[in-house]
Amino acid sequence: MNLPNPAIVSQDAARPLPRWALLLLCLAYVASGFIGRSPWKSVDVMSLGYMLELARGHTNWFAPQMLGLPAAASDGLLPYWLGAWAIRAATPWLDAAVAARLPFMALLSLTLLASWWGVYYLARRPQAQPVAFAFGGEAKPSDYARAIADGALLALLACLGLAQLAHEASSYLVQLTCTALVFCGAAALPYHRRLALGSFTAGLCGLSLSGAPSISALLGLGSLALLWQTPDHAAQQAAAAPRRRTSLLMLGSTAFAAALAAALGLWRWNMGDSWLSWQDWRNLLRLLLWFGWPAWPLALWTLWRWRQQLLHPPGTQHLLLPLWFVLVALASTFTTSPADRSLLLGLPAMAALAAFALPTLKRAMAALIDWFTLLFFTALALALWVVWVAMQTGIPAKPAANVARLVPGFAPELSWPPLLLALAASFCWCALVWWRAARHRAPIWKTLVLPAGGTTLCWLLLTTVWLPALDYARSYAPQMQRLVHALGAAPGCVQVGGVGRPQAAALLYHTRLHLETARPSSVCRWLVVDADHWPAHVPGAVPREWQLAARIVRPTDKDDALLLLRRASDTAADAP
């Protein structure tokens, strides 16, 4: 059936993005969020705590615990294993937090790579190719596919919700990477069957081992159903293997991933109640608006412009496959908590849909996107620089006062390497704006250059010149330093009870104390508890046996407080 094709692309418009520029952009994006910072509250530091306990041999690899607190089944096991193996391999050359992030840096890089290749193979499909010109000059299939894949990668980097969550050493990044692997494998099946099935199987198993077995099953079964939508002649044109054998292998991979999760006890129903109240719906809608920006408006435009193909689904996997991945992520967002972590898994597929909007954009719409992006990110970068100058010099006075109020006790220091990196990133942004505004550019990916560059610029500024203030505000380091100071020299063993997982992980990483789980038979004379959980959440605790020695709060959150208690008998013995 001949359907109207909205993609009209010349060979000149299908020029790929220079590889050096794309690699440099990805390197800046990946490295800037992992290097040089402390573990942040709360998922980041909590994951590090379980990794430390595994690496030190203090807990079971199949049932991790940290100071008596078991790991949540929704976190899976694979993220903790990766971090623990890296800590063991890098000790004593690297700090534990730095070592634990190394495999996650590789995972984020793999996410970007798998997303690019997945979109490339989707764009190679005959139904995704642009209209052939009467006298030639249309884009060649491989060049067109590269240009679309470049646009998809730029759209993914531009998504505002990707920045923080993709730079945490947690199960959510593992799930994101595995989702991208499943997406890439399903897209590449007609072209490289063995590699595609390997990527598909690895992604499904990784999802099951990282706490998302239900999403693994849905993505696997959905991809299998879409495979049977491919007409025989299209499969022959793509040199695909027989569909029956491929379907059996895909079904086997899906079943194996589900059985693996069940065998390890990772299959849990994590249904939430995020749809029950209007406030929850409003928060979810706000999240949807900013989290996937600017990919989601372009994805909606793709669905509109390619609607004729969607109404006749056979052979339109370049639209149906990413659409299925986005729908699974949206369903998970509305039914599980936290919602942003679930929505994260749909970003690669959403970026893929956004890329297929690029050949259909009118010049006026592309100009609107460029101008909005230019004004937004330039204003945001200028604001970051102005506030940073105010932190360093006290001028302007109002921003300096606001910073002092938000991060009380923070003493800014000037460090030249981060400053030079931030200045270099700002210079590159100016050069990129000049390149884009100098004259009309032909490549179809040009519309997403400024969004991706602006997002990377602001993320670089936050993780270079702003990093000390962010570390002070978002890490437990200042609170733990105060705790160690209050304990004094040679405190001996310290009991820990009634604290949350992030606090327990911070105690393990920042204090280097001899910590024990609180129990009535312990002989430790010190006890650390959460201020809100004393004494109800400390088993066997007798309040009269303990005396308050100090109340330790986080500087930026007075409600997040720890109580340092000392045995009353020891206090009386030390009294003159």
SS3 of 496-538: the string is EECCCHHHHHHHHHHHCCEEEECCCCCCCCEEEEEHHHCCCCC
Helix (H) or strand (E) holding 554: strand 546-554
Question: What pLDDT does residue 230 have?
Answer: 57
Per-residue confidence at 438, pLDDT binned at 50, 70, 90? confident
Residues in the chain, total:
576
Residue pair 526/574 in contact by the 8 Å Cβ criterion:
no
Distances, alpha carbon 360 to alpha carbons 3, 138, 158, 356, in Å? 15, 14, 20, 8
Question: What pLDDT does residue 239 have?
Answer: 43
Which whole number is the average pLDDT over 358-385? 92
Question: What pLDDT does residue 449 have?
Answer: 94
DSSP code, position 213: H
What sections of 58-161 are H helices per DSSP?
78-90, 96-123, 141-158
Q: With left for phi above 0 and alpha for psi between -120 and 50, is residue 394 left, alpha or beta? A: left
d(CA 264, CA 268): 11
Cis, peptide link before residue 92, omega less than 30° from 0: yes
d(CA 294, CA 373): 9
Contacts of 489 (CB under 8 A, 6+ apart): none
Question: What pLDDT does residue 240 have?
Answer: 46
Q: Which of 560, 566, 429, 420 is nearest to 487 (CA)?
A: 566
d(CA 256, CA 264): 12
Cβ burial, residue 567 (10 Å; 0-12/13-18/19+) = middle
Which whole number is the average pLDDT over 126-152? 87
Which whole number is the average pLDDT over 560-564? 93
Contacts of 166 (CB under 8 A, 6+ apart): 33, 108, 111, 173, 176, 344
Question: What pLDDT does residue 320 have?
Answer: 92
Q: Which two tokens stand for residue 346?
A: 């749909």
Q: Which residue type sits at 2?
A: N
Rounded to the nearest angstrom, the gap between the alpha carbon of residue 213 and the centroid of all alpha carbons in its chain is: 18
Q: Which residue type sits at 554?
A: R
Residue 576 has pLDDT above 60, yes or no: no
Residue pair 140/11 in contact by the 8 Å Cβ criterion:
yes
Q: pLDDT tens for residues 22-37?
A: 999 999 999 998 998 9
d(CA 60, CA 30): 32
d(CA 160, CA 168): 15
Question: What pLDDT does residue 233 have?
Answer: 43
Rounded to the nearest angstrom, the gap between the alpha carbon of residue 198 and the centroid of all alpha carbons in its chain is: 23
d(CA 340, CA 543): 40
Per-residue confidence at 364, pLDDT binned at 50, 70, 90? confident
Q: Which residue type sits at 376?
A: F
Residue pair 477/510 in contact by the 8 Å Cβ criterion:
yes
Torsion sign (Cα): 430, 432, 433, 439: positive
Give the three-state DSSP class for 247. Answer: helix
Residue pair 172/165 in contact by the 8 Å Cβ criterion:
yes
Highest mean pLDDT among 155-169, 219-233, 325-339: 155-169
Give the residue with greater pLDDT, 79 vs 492: 79
Residue 235 has pLDDT above 60, yes or no: no
Per-residue confidence at 52, pLDDT binned at 50, 70, 90? very high
Cα–Cα–Cα angle for 453, 454, 458, rounded to 5 degrees: 120
Mean pLDDT, the chain, whole residue set: 89
Q: Which of 120, 114, 118 is nearest to 17 (CA)?
A: 120
Question: What pLDDT does residue 65 have?
Answer: 94
Residue 497 has pLDDT above 50, yes or no: yes
Q: pLDDT tens for residues 205-215?
A: 999 999 999 99
Query: Partners of 60 in the beta sheet?
Result: 63
Q: Which residue type sits at 87?
A: I
Residue 440 has pLDDT above 80, yes or no: no
Q: Which residue type sits at 50?
A: Y
Q: Which residue type sits at 138?
A: E
Distances, alpha carbon 73 to alpha carbons 80, 268, 441, 442, in Å? 12, 7, 50, 50
What sections of 407-447 are H helices per DSSP?
416-438
Per-residue confidence at 114, pLDDT binned at 50, 70, 90? very high
Domain coordinates in residue numbering, the chain: 108-360, 363-474, 477-574
d(CA 47, CA 86): 13
CB atoms within 10 A of CB 215: 25
Which whole number is the average pLDDT over 314-339? 87
d(CA 261, CA 207): 9
Q: Which two tokens stand for residue 391?
A: 């932190």
Q: Which of 177, 184, 180, 26 is nearest to 120 (CA)?
A: 184
494-520 CB burial, b ≥16 within 10 A, e <16:
bbbbbbebbbbbbbbbbbebebbebee
Question: What pLDDT does residue 276 have?
Answer: 57
Q: pLDDT tens for residues 264-291?
A: 888 876 655 555 566 777 888 888 899 9
d(CA 188, CA 116): 11
Q: Which two tokens stand for residue 415?
A: 């460090």
Give the three-state DSSP class for 445. Answer: helix
